[in-house]
Amino acid sequence: MKITGYRSLNTVHDWGRITGDVNGVQPGHATPVPVLIIETDTGIEGVGLGSHADIARVFPAIEGDDPRSVVALYDRMLDWVFKAGHSGSTFGTIGAVDMALWDIKAKAADEPLWRTLGARERFVPGYASGLEYGLTENELSDLYGRFADRGFKAGKLKGGRDLDRDLPRLEIMRDILSRNSRRPALMFDANESWNHAQAARYVAAIEQRMDLTWVEEPLRRWDAAGMAALRGKVRAAIASGENLTGLEQYRPLLDANAVDIVQVGNVWGITHFLRVATLAHAHDLPVSPVAYNANPVAHAAAAVPNHLAFEVQDLLFPVGLDVDQQFDDGGIVLGDRPGIGIVVDESQMSPAGTATPRPAATGPHIRPERAALRLVAEPDVMDDPTHRGGRPS
């Protein structure tokens, strides 16, 4: 079997609502979903999800090789770009290719990827996380009610700018999830919006009212010393890592004992997740994947011994993707379809480069100018109905 080519496609995920975090809110209900198809000479094709802007640069590293040599090809892609570096969009491209190669490997074995990777169970424990920052309290209640209907006992709230806004929303989420647990797990995600003193004060104020299971990205992703110091000031566990690209970026955090929960982004691929999970396991730390459309890393999460909980952001899938997953009992139930379980209907998609949506000028992907520089809580733009689309600061 040989790798012969690729196709790059675009689709969207329609959330039916706005999404975002304290850094900003998406202006519409739909977000773009890039889809990568890796082709082989046997007709078996692999599906990878996520941005892959550097595919033309990376693909020559694997062209003509046997796609089942996934781990070796992953390292070859890293070697291929080592002079310029592999972070950012390049690492995302390698991750999308890596997903597609694992998909091919499991399809060639005629089994779901969770079997190929050695998992015993198809169930992946999860937690609800609706990217709900822009929603009203009633909309928030409806959203987490739908998660509770699927048995979720844990949930994460976005916030960090206005305590008077965040506390009632945390209580709403807690009360709804209490349908399934006397003490649901509550997580709070500040998305790198605080400095050290702000983080310590804010989390301490929340903890006067309720327990937090973890606080996520309280400081900048590289601030090992800051997160290590914060661990001694709050009761909540510290979770971070979703934006780190490569083991070399995790080592300073682990060496400094800066995190309690090691997080990994789905968009960086299967092999990266497996390696980070092994590194975390060597430090006796749990690993938790940060979600992406169709949850492709869930198959790998089922196979590692230190998986804690998988972030589930929505109960629906992108347009044109038939995904062999169910949501039940507070987690993901993986199916038996070979590979990562995704069937692509290309008739509902557009080729890359045709009518590609421009990135929104506001949203969670843009860091506000005044992040971590606010002296007092300011009226939040989401409390003003004329600004439901958000603004950058």
For the full predicted model, state whether its pTM sits above 0.85: yes
Q: Where do runs of H (alpha helix) occur along 192-246? A: 196-207, 224-231
- Tell me how far apart the alpha carbons of residues 277 and 249 are, in angstroms, rounded to a whole number: 14
The kind and range of the H/E element at 106 are helix 89-108
- Tell me how far apart the alpha carbons of residues 156 and 220 are, in angstroms, rounded to a whole number: 19
Q: What percentage of residues in the chain have a pLDDT greater than 70?
A: 93
| pLDDT given for residue 370 in this prediction | 79
Question: How do the domains of the chain map onto residue ranges?
Answer: 114-339
Q: For the chain, report the end-to-end CA distance as a whole number of angstroms.
A: 51
pLDDT bin (cut points 50, 70, 90) of residue 383 is: low
Give the chain's mean pLDDT.
93
- Tell me how far apart the alpha carbons of residues 199 and 211 are, in angstroms, rounded to a whole number: 16
**What topology is assigned to 114-339 in CATH?**
TIM Barrel (3.20.20)
Residue pLDDT, tens place only, 221-270: 999 999 999 999 999 999 999 999 999 999 999 999 999 999 999 999 99
Averaged pLDDT for residues 105-115: 98
Q: Tell me which of 385 and 234 has the higher pLDDT.
A: 234
* Contacting residues for 101 by C-beta, under 8 A, at least 6 apart: 38, 46, 62, 67, 68, 70, 73, 74
| pLDDT given for residue 380 in this prediction | 58
Is residue 368 over pLDDT 90?
no
